[in-house]
Structure 1
Amino acid sequence: MVREIKTNSRMRDCWDALNFVCCFEFWRMAVFWTLALVRSYLELSSRAFFYRIPHFYPRCSPPTLTSISETKAPTRPLCIITGATSGLGAASAHALSREGFYVVLAGRSSHLLSKTVEEIKKQDADAHLKAFQVDLSCFQSIINFKNAFERWLSNSNMHPSVQVLINNAGIFATSCRFTSEGYDQMMGTNYIGAFALTNLLLPLLRSSPVPSRIVNVTSFTHQCVSCTQVDEETLVGKYFSRSKQYRCAHIYEYSKFCLLLFSYELHRQLYLNDESHKVSVLYVFLNAVDPGFVETNIMREVPSYLSQLALMVIRLLGLLQSPENGVESIVDATLAPPEASGEYFFGGRGRTVNSSELSYDPELAEKLWTSSYKLFMKSQLVSKDVS
């Protein structure tokens, strides 16, 4: 009986893998994504070889903050990491707690959050950690997280501000699913949720007594995007749903492209264009991060035979990284000096490269901001009605 169940399970896995191989999305991932990854590494190598001057930023020490209570010792800077239950998010929490941050872990699973906190505590008993459950694809959940976080912060002895926000949460879905707001779940999690959370936490980032920073974790797959539509219908996924087959690769690329375009636009607004902000308060610096191909569970919805084959091929090319190695770019961007704002970190050791030409289009970025903000305001109104 057990043998029969295992046989049926294997046959089902083989059939799923065969169906996935026959769709265009698989070949787009297999060919385009591999070429995009190789291109990024080639640019990294060419910069060092042709220019002779590697473009990198050294890491700075995390700043210390004065406690609200004058009798207390200085407190640690506070860092929020989304998607902190596994993979790069968990690795970032490990790394930045060692650097001296008070790390707030945000993720969908309370069980996995507790497990991550326990693992970090085993390695470092002095780590300062706090976990909050949040689903980035649900605006009401983001609002609840923001309110719970502010209550916790007001009851602590820390400064009522945030020093670092790392938008790391992301999913890769192979089937069409919609959020409670009617958004494609992949777009909601990978981009719209990050946009909403950043805007909700921006007052806390701007009130920091030391320069604060936003780090958006994007992907080399953004290079495959040629679509210049950034209207509301496209952002919520309706444009892609016109196809009979779920365009999982296209939507993932597009979500990461939007996150990158948003990064550059926010950098322009906060760091370059806002002269009054430069005079009145400290800067909010913003960087984008591309960790490369990291061995995480993000491809868990891809048939196991194919995901294992992909990992084997990338490993043979020497481009596969563990989360512990892949997180280096995130730490680089977090601890980069103040002049490193609006950069695209890739390859570790503080190195940066150029993202796609389309991602630097300021007019497209402004249109994206306008469309995203309209969705953000609509979500706020719906949230108030529900409350």
Structure 2
Amino acid sequence: MEDKTILITGANDGIGRATAERLAEYGAHLVLACRDEVKAQHTAQAITKKTGNHRIDTLPLDLSDFSSIRAAADEFLAEHPKLDVLINNAGVYTDKLELTKEGYELQFGVNYLGHFLLTMALMPAIRCCRHCSRVINVSSAQHVKGGLDFGSLRGEKGSKDYNGSKAYAQSKLANVLFTMELDRRFGEELTTNCLHPGVVGTRLANKKAGTLTRTVWSMYKPFATPPHEGADTSVYLAQSPEVQDVSGRYFDENQCLRKPSSIARNEHLARRLWEFSEKAVSDYLPREQY
């Protein structure tokens, strides 16, 4: 992996940090794309100290802000000729309705739409890898509980009817649909897969969730899979030769192929989501770039 450049979103905590540490041990050149650049720099220093890998850069990235995403992509493209592996890992969970800067429901905006824009904006570097680049989307088994309500993606139904768990499931379903459609459109140039990391003891539900959710999760978290094990499938998909020609698939926490939900395999819905997403980010990503 010493000749590989890997970008990981949300790499200063949880599964993202554990993934970065593991890949650093392989000698990869890492780019930690995080909202808090100071924390990202501290993480990079800690990983270097732990692994001896000095090829770890940071990149400011706020997935709730299209301008930040475009700026991050532009900065990466200016400094790096190629991107071998993109791991769309960052995620958010909230019990109450919140919106991104552009007015999208926060979980849909951060967990999916921001990653869609980032992936498309980085496509020039991904395409430079001569058909061996990999895009990895961290989804969740919760996608099976999700539907895709195009009438809720901007919080149209209001705070009273907002259900954080349903919104989270919807965003993770979008990750799977995106993976399948990305493979259909770019499968000749890259491989792309998505995964369920397991029920991992991260701080995901402790950051923006309500008091009850935070309390319940804090009680359960010690019994959950630790982050270093939750990173197993992301690391496997990033570096294993076993999956170098596997694309458009969904893997579980044991690196086994699984069939996603029937709605996640709906090609018409995947195309509709793609077209919606293209329109949503059109002001930040000229079509000729991809």
Q: TM-score, normalised by structure 1?
A: 0.69
8 Å CA contact retained: 2:97, 2:155: no
Report sequence identity in percent: 30
Residue in 2 that maps onto 1:324: 228
Residue in 1 that maps onto 2:75: 148
Q: Deviations over 1:59-92 (max 9, x none)?
A: xxx3x6xxxxxxxxxxx21000001110011111
Residue in 2 that maps onto 1:264: 180
AA paired with 1:252?
A: Y
Q: Deviations over 1:25-47 (max 9, x none)?
A: xxxxxxxxxxxxxxxxxxxxxxx
Matches within 5 A, 1:183-202: 183-202=104-123
Q: Deviations over 1:179-221 (max 9, x none)?
A: 2211122221111100100111112111114600000000111
Residue in 1 that maps onto 2:209: 302
Q: Deviations over 1:313-341 (max 9, x none)?
A: 5766xxx2010000001111112432221
8 Å CA contact retained: 2:139, 2:173: yes
Indicate yes or no: 2:88 matched with 1:167.
yes
With over 3 angstroms needed to count, the CA separation of the structure-2 counterparts of 1:304 and 1:179, relative to structure 1, is closer
Aligned to 1:377, which of 279, 282, 289? 282
Work out the CA distance in 1 between the residues paired with 2:211 and 2:233.
28
Matches within 5 A, 1:191-270: 191-209=112-130, 211-225=132-146, 227-229=147-149, 231=150, 233-238=151-156, 241-242=157-158, 244-270=160-186
Indicate yes or no: 2:49 matched with 1:122.
yes
Work out the CA distance in 2 between the residues paired with 1:380 and 1:114.
28
Aligned to 1:94, which of 21, 26, 31? 21
AA paired with 1:321?
A: T
Q: Deviations over 1:229-278 (max 9, x none)?
A: 4x4x443332xx3462432111111011111111111111112xxxxxx4
With over 3 angstroms needed to count, the CA separation of the structure-2 counterparts of 1:333 and 1:201, relative to structure 1, is same
8 Å CA contact retained: 2:14, 2:202: yes
Indicate yes or no: 2:241 matched with 1:339.
no
Residue in 2 that maps onto 1:284: 190
Work out the CA distance in 2 between the residues paired with 1:304 and 1:183.
24
With over 3 angstroms needed to count, the CA separation of the structure-2 counterparts of 1:372 and 1:305, relative to structure 1, is closer
8 Å CA contact retained: 2:63, 2:69: yes
AA paired with 2:167?
A: I
8 Å CA contact retained: 2:91, 2:110: yes
Question: SS of the residue aligned with 1:294?
Answer: coil
Report deviation, 1:379: 4.4
Work out the CA distance in 2 between the residues paired with 1:209 and 1:267.
16
Aligned to 1:132, which of 59, 62, 74? 59
Report deviation, 1:289: 1.2
With over 3 angstroms needed to count, the CA separation of the structure-2 counterparts of 1:125 and 1:314, relative to structure 1, is closer
AA paired with 2:52?
A: A
How many residues matched? 283
Range moving further from structure 2, 207-216 or 298-307? 298-307
The structure with the largest helix share of the pair is 1
Work out the CA distance in 1 between the residues paired with 2:154 and 2:192.
25
With over 3 angstroms needed to count, the CA separation of the structure-2 counterparts of 1:353 and 1:177, relative to structure 1, is same
Work out the CA distance in 2 between the residues paired with 1:250 and 1:173.
11
AA paired with 1:198?
A: T
Indicate yes or no: 2:101 matched with 1:180.
yes
Question: SS of the residue aligned with 2:56?
Answer: strand
RMSD: 2.0
Give the unaligned 5+ runs of structure 1. 1-61, 65-75, 154-159, 272-277, 382-387
With over 3 angstroms needed to count, the CA separation of the structure-2 counterparts of 1:246 and 1:287, relative to structure 1, is same
Report deviation, 1:355: 1.2
Work out the CA distance in 2 between the residues paired with 1:288 and 1:100.
24
